[in-house]
């Protein structure tokens, strides 16, 4: 964990994510300023007494919603009205909503706090309402407005890290990957630039605030002793208006520099873009830009994108977007991204008309699911092993797909789906009530995606119906390394892990394609190294795959990952 290593390993990504972060922050702030400043002015000058508290109240309510929830609300609402649920747009909407209040409030109070005598004298001298605004109210309110913008900017930089959840990019990507893989390097690579950005922008805005504050009301100016007859130094002072214009111009140039690279020139010239690609099978197909969206874990684990990229020499035109695993499939189905990482057992692959690309070079190791249990737990509770092994080889891939689909898309409860399945399989008597457990507590873990939650529920249900142990459900933990760390530390007693994940991600070994061999290695190594026991595999092989929309894959003649890599190279 030394900094120079972080920079040499992740430097390119840090730079790109920082750029994305700046882009999000700038875009959100420009929009927020464009809305909040005029609105604040109108509110401060309106004669309708009921208006200001109403609008400020509404903005205040938005502010009280936790930022994570606000982003979630926007995704849900956008989904209802069929707006894009991932990417920059929903992210920006959340950031703008969050940034509004401080600017609005400061503009309002900044103008309201101007001495009414000052307004009256300006009126008495024959200034129009507009002249009073531009020559008296705004210059006097400017420092307060700038302070609001500053507060907003610092907040926005912080909240923008959360936008990584919905594929808007930014430094949050690195932070989430760091969390998923428990890697301090990535965590720091995301956090330090974010903190530095906040400090630098705060400093710059604070300087700008001082520079824009009219000289007469600057605090450091001090009161010259009365009767001091020394002529003041004649320095060419720039009027506030000129300074404002200059500052706006600089901000404009920075914005342009940030925005230009984001404009999809290729997309704009799509009409003229007649480039084609000849596929391996000799077909000539149109050349399209393919966007990838992967979840944070896939992006960071060695048997995920980093290894896949090297193995197949896969190079997307833009770095893959990071997406929440729950949003990935929908994003692909709606065409917001083209290539996603998918779990073979996910029901949405079929339901959303996606096609799995064949892993023709057998890159991905097998990922057979099996309960991993602490050896001391097994020893302490006779018969626990047999109960958990009731599921051995009990679930087929297709069955798992269906179970996942019922939870993900049909809104059923994971527990109900699990109970239903176990009953059908005769592992639990229909209508039987689980006896009130009196034995020890068993902590059952699960990672934060549907299949893990269903499997975790099954483990718990089996324990409840067939032992007197009392399972404690910890079924929505933040990923492999979080679960594994908790199991190793004794905070969990068991969770369902996948053999390939154990081999590559936890044991840090090269992928192997023979399932039995993988199982043997992880079983042996886990016992020796961690005193953990792999029980019998439950049948499903939830391998990682890449998936595309069936229609697009067929049109572009892409069937395998090699096809994809070749297509992208053309």
Partner 1 sequence: MITIEEVSKTFPDGTEAVKDLSLEIEEGETVVLLGTSGSGKTTTMKMVNRLIEPTSGRISVDGQDIMDQDPVQLRRHIGYAIQSIGLFPHMTLGENISVVPQLLGWDQPRTDDHVDQLLNMVQLEPEVYRDRFPSQLSGGQRQRVGVARSLAGDPPVVLMDEPFGALDPITREQLQNEFLELEDEIKKTVVFVTHDVFEAVKMGDRIALLDAGELQQLSSPAELVDNPANEFVSQFLGQQRFQLALVTRTLEFLLDKGIVERTDEELPDGPSLSRHDSLIQALDRFKTTGETVLPIRGGGRAIGELSKKKLLSIIAEVLGESGEESQ
Q: What is the chain's percent helix, strand, coil content, to nearest 5?
A: 60, 10, 30
**Minimum CB–partner distance for residue 50 and partner 1 (Å):** 18
Query: What is the rounded CA–CA span in Å between residue 240 and residue 245?
Result: 9
Q: Does 223 bind partner 1 (CB under 8 A)?
A: yes
Q: Does 115 bind partner 1 (CB under 8 A)?
A: yes
Q: Does 238 bind partner 1 (CB under 8 A)?
A: no
Q: Does 240 bind partner 1 (CB under 8 A)?
A: yes
Strand partners, 442: 471
**Minimum CB–partner distance for residue 235 and partner 1 (Å):** 9
Sign of CA dihedral 398, 404, 405, 406: positive
Residue of 87, 102, 139, 445 interacting with partner 1 (CB under 8 A)? 139
| Residues 193-222 interacting with partner 1 (rule: CB under 8 A) | 214-217, 221
Q: Does 48 bind partner 1 (CB under 8 A)?
A: no
Q: Does 128 bind partner 1 (CB under 8 A)?
A: yes
**Minimum CB–partner distance for residue 43 and partner 1 (Å):** 22
Query: What is the rounded CA–CA span in Å between residue 322 and residue 162?
Result: 11
Mark out the alpha helices in 181-264 (DSSP H runs): 184-212, 240-259
Token pair 């140039």 in the structure block, residue:
253
Mark out the alpha helices in 213-279 (DSSP H runs): 240-259, 265-268
Q: Does 236 bind partner 1 (CB under 8 A)?
A: no
Q: Does 123 bind partner 1 (CB under 8 A)?
A: yes
Residue of 63, 109, 131, 468 interacting with partner 1 (CB under 8 A)? 131
- The residue count for binding partner 1 (CB under 8 A) is 33
**Minimum CB–partner distance for residue 264 and partner 1 (Å):** 45
Q: Does 120 bind partner 1 (CB under 8 A)?
A: yes
Query: What is the rounded CA–CA span in Å between residue 61 and residue 40?
Result: 17
Least Cα distance to 459 among 500, 418, 413 occurs for 418
What stretch of H or E contains 371?
strand 369-374
Strand partners, 496: 371
Query: What is the rounded CA–CA span in Å between residue 434 and residue 420?
Result: 14
Q: How many residues does the chain have?
A: 570
C-beta closer to partner 1: residue 63 or 135: 135
Q: Does 272 bind partner 1 (CB under 8 A)?
A: no
Q: Does 118 bind partner 1 (CB under 8 A)?
A: yes
C-beta closer to partner 1: residue 109 or 513: 109
201 near 157, Cβ under 8 Å? yes
One DSSP character per residue, 492-518 reads -SEEEEEHHIIIIIIS-------HHHH
How remote is the C-alpha of 124 from its chain's centroid?
56
Residue of 4, 49, 82, 124 interacting with partner 1 (CB under 8 A)? 124
Q: Is 547 strand, coil or helix?
A: strand
In this chain, which stretch among 1-9, 223-231, 438-446, 487-495 interacts with partner 1, using CB under 8 A? 223-231
In this chain, which stretch among 99-107, 116-124, 149-157, 248-256 interacts with partner 1, using CB under 8 A? 116-124
Q: Does 62 bind partner 1 (CB under 8 A)?
A: no
C-beta closer to partner 1: residue 230 or 315: 230
Binding string, residues 140-169; x marks residues near partner 1 by CB under 8 A? x-----------------------------
What stretch of H or E contains 97?
helix 88-112
What stretch of H or E contains 518?
helix 515-530
**Minimum CB–partner distance for residue 202 and partner 1 (Å):** 25
Which residues in this chain contact partner 1 in the complex, by CB under 8 A? 115, 117-118, 120-128, 131, 135-136, 139-140, 214-217, 221, 223-224, 226-227, 229-232, 234, 237, 240
């Amino acid at each position: 964990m030394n900094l120079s290593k972080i920079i040499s390993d992740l430097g390119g990504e840090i730079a790109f994510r920082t750029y994305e972060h700046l882009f999000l922050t700038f875009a959100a702030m420009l929009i927020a300023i464009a809305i909040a400043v005029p609105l604040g002015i109108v509110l401060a000058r309106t004669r309708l007494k009921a208006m200001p508290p109403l609008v400020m109240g509404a903005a205040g309510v938005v502010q009280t919603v936790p930022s994570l929830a606000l982003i979630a609300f926007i995704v849900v609402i956008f989904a209802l009205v069929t707006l894009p649920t991932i990417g920059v747009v929903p992210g920006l909407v959340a950031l703008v909503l969050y940034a509004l209040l401080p600017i609005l409030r400061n503009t309002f109070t900044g103008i309201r706090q101007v001495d009414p005598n000052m307004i009256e004298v300006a009126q008495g001298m024959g200034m129009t309402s507009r002249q009073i605004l531009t020559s008296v109210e705004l210059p006097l309110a400017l420092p307060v407005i700038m302070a609001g913008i500053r507060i907003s900017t610092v907040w926005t930089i912080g909240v923008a890290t959360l936008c990584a959840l919905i594929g808007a990019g930014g430094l949050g990507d690195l932070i989430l990957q760091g969390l998923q893989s428990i890697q301090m390097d990535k965590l720091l690579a995301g956090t330090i630039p974010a903190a530095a950005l906040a400090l630098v922008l705060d400093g710059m805005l604070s300087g700008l605030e001082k520079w824009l504050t009219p000289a007469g009301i600057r605090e450091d100016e001090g009161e010259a002793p009365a009767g001091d007859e020394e002529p003041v130094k004649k320095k060419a002072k720039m009027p506030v208006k000129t300074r404002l214009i200059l500052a706006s111009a600089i901000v404009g140039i920075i914005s342009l520099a940030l925005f230009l690279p984001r404009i999809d020139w290729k997309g704009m010239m799509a009409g003229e873009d007649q480039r084609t690609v000849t596929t391996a099978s000799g077909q000539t197909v149109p050349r399209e830009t393919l966007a990838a969206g992967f979840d944070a874990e896939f992006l960071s684990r060695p048997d995920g994108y980093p290894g896949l990229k090297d193995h197949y020499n896969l190079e997307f035109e833009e770095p893959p977007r990071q997406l929440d695993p729950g949003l990935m499939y929908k994003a692909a189905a709606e065409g917001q991204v083209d290539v996603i990482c998918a779990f073979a057992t996910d029901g949405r692959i079929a339901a959303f008309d996606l096609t799995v690309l064949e892993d023709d070079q057998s890159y991905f190791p097998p990922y057979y699911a099996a309960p991993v249990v602490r050896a001391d737990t097994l020893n302490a509770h006779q018969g626990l092993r047999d109960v958990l092994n009731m599921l051995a080889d009990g679930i087929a891939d297709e069955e798992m797909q269906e179970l996942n689909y019922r939870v993900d898309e049909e809104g059923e409860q994971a527990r109900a789906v699990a109970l239903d399945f176990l009953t059908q399989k005769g592992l639990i008597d229909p209508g039987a009530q689980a006896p009130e457990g009196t034995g020890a507590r068993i902590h059952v873990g699960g990672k934060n995606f549907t299949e893990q939650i269903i499997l975790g529920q099954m483990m718990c249900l089996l324990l409840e119906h067939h032992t007197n142990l009392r399972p404690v459900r910890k079924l929505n933990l933040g990923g492999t390394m979080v679960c594994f760390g908790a199991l190793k530390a004794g905070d969990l007693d068991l969770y369902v892990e996948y053999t390939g994940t154990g081999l590559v991600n936890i044991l840090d070994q090269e992928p192997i394609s023979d399932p039995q061999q993988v199982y043997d290695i992880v079983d042996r190594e886990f016992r020796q190294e961690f005193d953990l026991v792999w029980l019998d595999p439950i049948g499903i092989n939830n391998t990682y795959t890449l998936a595309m929309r069936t229609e697009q894959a067929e049109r572009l003649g892409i069937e395998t990952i090699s096809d994809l890599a070749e297509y992208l190279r053309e």
